[in-house]
Chain A
């Protein structure tokens, strides 16, 4: 699986859009970008995934660059409950395993 690089930590004001970047310059054509988050002391939670098109669901939007070497997870109106560690994972569809890196610790400030 391709390696990902994320900032260690980020801050965002409540009510603003939180934009979390992820670099995956070695991604291959059949690998998807997945995002999970882990709120303190809880198990990780799936957020969204995509291959090459931008994706949106009730939780977030995923923007993947045209060359697929990087992506951005967007939380459009961040709330205090969005404070969590966000993991960007690149993996082929149907893979048996996921590899969780260190992720980005996002803090939403009032």
Chain B
């Protein structure tokens, strides 16, 4: 049971480049989330999904797109990276309803030059 995994672990981009971060979970969770965390700050929700084929905006969605084509995967895309998107990105998942126990991945450290 791998839990929540994230790919890649580290990435450096130049301004204007695009990339996709992959989150995968093997717990059959319905809900999945993407957060970002800037140095010394708490986590901020970017986008989330309550089921396959559905996505919703979180607190800071601008500059990001997401897709949930398969229940186990949640993709976060940056179409044109900006230095302000330099951050650590965390993915999480949980079961629908019930306890608010989110399971987090190890994070992706992204630097945009």
Q: Which residues of A contact B (CB under 8 A)?
A: 32, 34, 36, 41-46, 49, 87, 89, 91, 93-103
Contacts and interface: CB of A to CB of B under 8 A. Distances in A.
Give the dominant DSSP class at A's interface.
Answer: loop
A91 B56 CA distance: 19
Given A91-B100, A93-B98, A93-B99, A43 B42 contact: no
Interface residues of B, number: 29
Contacts of A87: 42
Interface of B: 4, 31, 33, 35, 41-45, 48, 50, 56, 58-59, 88, 90, 92, 96-107
A94 B97 contact: yes
A41 B35 CA distance: 14
Give the most central of A32, A44, A49, A99: most B CB within 10 Å: A44
A21 to B, nearest CB: 18
A77 B52 CA distance: 43
